[in-house]
Chain A
Amino acid sequence: MVTITEQRARSGRGVELVLLLLALAVGLYAYAQVGLATTGALPVGMAVHGGSLAVLALGTHVVLRWRASYADPVILPVVVALNGIGLAMIYRLDQAYEAADRTAGFADRQVLWTAIGVLAAVGVLIALRDHRTLRRYTYTAMVAGLVLLLLPLLPGLGKTINGARIWIGIGPLSFQPAELAKIVLAVFFAGYLVTQRDNLALAGPKVLGLQLPRLRHLGPILLAWGVALVVLVFQRDLGAALLFFALFVAMLYVATERLSWVIIGLLLFGGGAALAATAFPHVGARFDVWLDALSPEIYNRQPGGSYQVVQGLFGLASGGLMGTGWGEGRPDVVPFANSDFIIASLGEELGLTGLIAILVCYLLLAERGLRAAIGVRDGFGKLLASGLAFVVAFQCFVVVGGVTRLIPLTGLTMPFLAQGGSSLLVNWMIVALLLRVSDSARRPAPLTGDLPIAPIAGGGPSVPVDGGMPEADDSSPTEVVRLR
C-alpha cells in the first residue's frame, strides 16, 4: 500500500542567508585586503562600495523570500561572491592605474552597474511571476535577438572599439547588444524548440548509424549558423559567434536528444571557423597566437601579436600555486587586466588555489541552473534554464580557456568578474531567470489543485488522474513527481 505523508518542503531561505553572509564576507575581506596591501589603510570607498554590495545582496534575499521563496539557495550567494571578488580586483587595478597616471575609476562605475544589474534582476523577479509567460514572446524574441545582434552594423549607431564592431553608442553611453541577445535568443530557442522538437527529432535518413534530420528541418540550424558567421565576419567578434552557436546547438540537443545535431553543428562551426581563419587575417592571427604564443616572431608581430596573451601567462605563472596576495602582484602589466584578462589578474594575486576556487563557483552556478532545468516541469522552462546555465558555463570556458591557451583567445567577458556594464546587467538578469525557474522547480506541487498528479511508480495503472490526455508536454510533468 502506498501511504502519502505530507512533509513541509524546505525553502532554503535560511541556508541562503547564511551563505550570503559568507559570500559578502569574502568580497568585503578581499576589498579590505586590497586597501591594506596597496595603501596601508582600509579603502576610502569601503563603506560606500562594500555597503552598497551588502544592501543589494540582502535586499535581493528579501525579495526572494517574498517573490520566489523556493528558489535555489546557492545561486545568489555564489553570484554575490563572484561580483564582490570582481569589484575588489577592479578596485585593486584602479589603484595601480592611478599610480601610473592612467585612466582609473572603473570600480565606481562597476558598483553603479552592479546596482543597476541587481535592480534589473529584482525587477525581473517581481514582474515575472511565472517564466512560462515568456513563451508567449517566442517570435518577438527572435526578431529582437536578430536586431540586437546586427544592431552594431548600423552606420551611425555601431561603434568599433579595439577592432570589434560589437558596441552601440547612444550619446556618451555604449552598450554591447550581443550581451542582451543572449537572453532574448535563449527565450526564442526555448520557445521554438519546445514546439518543434518532435519535428526535429523525427526520424530522417540514417547514414553510418547517425540519425540525420530531414533536409527541410535543417533550416533553422543553417539560419543560426549563417547569423553566427555574419557576426563573426562583419563584427570581427569570434567570441559572440561561438557563444550563440554553442547555445543553439546545446539547446537543440536538449530538445531533440539527437546527437546528430551536435555533430552537424560541430562540423558546420568547424568548417566556418576554418574558412574564416584562412580568409580573414585577424581570425588567422588568433590561431597563430594560440598555437605558438611564445615565439618571438609572433610576440612582436604588429598587429595580431601575442603580447597580451603572453603577459597574461606571465601573470598567471608569477602567481604560482598560492598567488602573490591581494595587491602584491603586478596584474596591471597585462593589457585589459580588469576586463578581458581579469582571470589572469586573479590568477596572479590569488594563485592556482584561488583560480580553482573561482572556477568551482562558476561550476556550482551552472550546475545549479542545470539542476533547476531538470527539476522544472515544463519543457520551455527546461530549455530556457539549461540554455542560460550552459551559456554562463560556456562563456567561462571560452574566456578562461583563451587566457590559459586551451583554445584561441576570443573577446568575451568573464560573467560577474570583468569590468563592463552590459555584461554585468545581463548576467544579473540571467541569474534572476535561473532563480525564477529554480523556484518553480523546487516549489512543491500542491496536493489538491488543478494540476494533474501522476501516479506513484508501480502504484497502479498509468492513467492520468483526471482522465484526459495531456495536451502538450510543456504543461504536463515530464518526470514523476516524487512525494514522501
Chain B
Amino acid sequence: MNTPIRRLTTVVALMFVALMVMATSVQFVQAPALNADGRNVRTVYREFGRDRGPIVVAGDAVAVSTPVDDVYGYQRSYPGGALYAPVTGYFSAALSSMTGMEAAANPVLNGTSDSLLVQRIQDLITGAQPQGGSVELTIDPVVQQAAWDALGDQRGAVVALDPQTGAILALVSTPSYDPDPLAAHSSAEAQAAYDALLADPADPLTNRAIGGDLYPPGSSFKLVVAAALLESGDYGPDSEVPAPAELQLPQSTQVVRNPGGISCTANDTAPLIYTLQESCNTTFAALGMELGQDALREQAEAFGFGAPLEIPLRVTPSVYPTDLDEAQTAMTAIGQYDVRATPLQMAMVSAAIANDGVQMRPYLVATERGPDLEVLRTTEPDELRRSVSTETAEELTAMMVNVVEQGTGSAAQIPGVDVAAKTGSAQAGEGRSPHAWFTAFAPAEDPEVAIAVLVEYGGNEGDLASGGTTAAPIARQVLEAVLDR
C-alpha cells in the first residue's frame, strides 16, 4: 500500500502548489485591478486611519484630525463649522465618502501626494505613522464672516476674489451644514445626520456658489452683452441705442418690457451707458439680436462660460445655450431663457473687467505644507484667458461705476470709494420670486476685490426682491469688509 500512499502524497503536494499559485495570482497578479475596483471599500477605509493634515485659514484650522481610541484612530472635526463647510466639505469614515477640499486636496492631506515622497520613505524606514500635510486656504476669515452675516438666513451664495491674482477671499453658500456629525465614527449617527441633510428642503448640501444648481443670471448678464457690443467696435458708451417701452419679439407672441413696464427714457433711444445704468431690457434684447447668438456666445465663452474649472473644487461650467432663434437670442441677452451661471462665474466676469480684461484663474489653496511645515507648493497666480481688450475693460468699468453712482446699484455706494457693479433680477420660473443678483468690484480705479452675490428666490423680500434692493446691500457689506482690512 505504500506506492499509492506515496502517489497520494504527490497529489496532496500538487493541491497545495495549485493553492499557492492561485493565491499568488489573486494577491499579486490580480491585486492592482481588485484594489482599483469601485466596490472595494478598503481603499476608502484606509484613508480614515491616517493622521490627516489640517485645512488652515489665516493660521487657524477649519478642519483638523485628533487622535481617538477606536478602530479608525483619528477623528476629523471642523472648528470652521457651517461657515466653512462649502469649502472644507466633509470627510466621513462611516459614510465612506469625502467632499469639498477634503476630497480635492486629499493626496496632500493624507500624505500620499508625490510631493511628500521623501517624507513617506523616511516614515517607512523609521516606522513612523504616515502623517498628512496641511493645506492653507486663500480665504480671508473677516470677509468670509462678513458675507455669511450679510446673507443671514436667506438662501444664496457670495463669492469674493482678488481680481489681480484670482485668490478667492470668500466662498459662502447658505444654508450650510455642520460637517462634524457626518464625520462621526458611528455609522448610525453619521447616516442619520446625512439623511436629515438630504431630506432638508433647503438643500444645505448643495454648494450654491460653484456647483449643483445653476441660476439664470438675469440682468447681470448684460455685462457680457455690453462687452460684446464694445468689442464689436461699432458701439461706445455714448452710442445712441434703442430703448423702447416694449419690444415685440420676431416669430413670437412674447413682448419684452422694462422693469415696471415703462420706457427707460423719454425718447425711444438713449446712450448705451444710460441703458446699462437703468438696466433697460428692450435695449439689450434688441442689441442682442443685432449681434447674433454667435457673437454673444463667443463673448460669454471669453468670460469662461462652458469651460470646466477646478479651484481645485470642481466648478459646474456655466451654460450659454445653443441653436437659438432670434427671440431666444433676445431673451438670452437679458439673462433669461436657457443661459445659466454660477455665482463664481459672475464674479469672474467682474474680476476680468476689473483686471484690465484679463481673467485670472480662481484658486482656493494658497500653500501646501508637509507635516514638518516645510512648504511643498504655493499657488502662483495664473492668467486664465483674456476676456476683453483693455479699452473695453476701461469703458465697461466706467459704465459699471455709473450704475452705482446714478442707477440701479446705488445701494452699494461706499463713501470715498468708486464701486463698479451690475444688478440682476432673474425670473426663476412661474410663480416663484426672482433671484436677486449683484456683481461688483472696488475700488474701480485700483480693484482689490471682485464679488458676486446671489439671493435665491428673492430671499426675505420675496416677490419684491431685486438685485439693487436685495443683493446690493449684501455686496456692500462684503466690499467694506475687504476695504477696511
Contacts and interface: CB of A to CB of B under 8 A. Distances in A.
Interface of A: 38-40, 95-96, 99-101, 250, 253-255, 257, 294, 299, 310, 313-321, 328-330, 333, 347, 351-352, 355-356, 359-360, 362-363, 366-367, 370-371, 373-374, 379, 382-383, 386, 389-390, 393-394, 396-397, 400-401, 404-406, 478-479
A355 B27 contact: yes
Contacts of B45: 330, 333
A317 B33 CA distance: 9
B483 interface: no
B69 A404 contact: no
A314 B30 contact: no
Given A257-B3, A370-B8, 12 more contacts: A317-B27, A318-B42, A319-B27, A328-B49, A330-B45, A363-B12, A374-B2, A382-B5, A390-B12, A400-B22, A401-B19, A401-B22
Contacts of B20: 356, 359
Contact of B19 (A99, A373, A404): A404
23 contacts: A250-B8, A253-B4, A257-B1, A294-B37, A299-B39, A314-B34, A314-B35, A314-B39, A316-B27, A316-B31, A317-B31, A317-B40, A318-B43, A329-B42, A367-B9, A367-B13, A379-B1, A393-B12, A396-B15, A396-B16, A404-B25, A404-B26, A406-B19
A371 B9 CA distance: 9
A347 B5 contact: no
A370 B41 contact: no
A314 B13 CA distance: 27
B70 interface: yes
Contacts of A254: 1, 4-5, 8
B18 interface: yes
B121 interface: no
A370 B23 contact: no
B23 A374 contact: no
Contacts of B18: 397, 401, 406
B322 interface: no
A400 B25 CA distance: 13
A383 B2 CA distance: 10
User: Shortest 5 CB-CB distances between A and B: which pairs?
Assistant: A317-B34, A317-B31, A352-B27, A404-B22, A406-B22
B12 A352 contact: no
A362 B34 CA distance: 27
Contact of A317 (B2, B26, B41, B46): B26
A interface SS class: helix
Contacts of A316: 23, 26-27, 31, 34
Nearest to A367: B9
B24 interface: yes
B30 A317 contact: yes
B485 interface: no
Contacts of A39: 69
A36 B24 CA distance: 29
Nearest to A314: B40
Nearest to B35: A317
A350 B241 CA distance: 79
Nearest to A327: B71
A197 to B, nearest CB: 8
Nearest to A394: B15
A310 B39 contact: yes
A351 to B, nearest CB: 7
A371 B69 CA distance: 50
B19 to A, nearest CB: 5
Give the one of A254, A315, A317, A394 with max B CB within 10 A.
A317
Nearest to B40: A314
A314 B37 contact: yes
B443 to A, nearest CB: 56
Given A96-B71, A404-B19, A370 B26 contact: no
Contacts of A406: 18-19, 22
Give the one of B40, B70, B187 with max A CB within 10 A.
B40
B10 to A, nearest CB: 10
Contacts of A100: 71, 187
Give the one of A99, A373, A404, A478 with max B CB within 10 A.
A404
A246 to B, nearest CB: 10
Given A310-B39, A314-B37, A314-B40, A393 B31 contact: no
B277 to A, nearest CB: 59
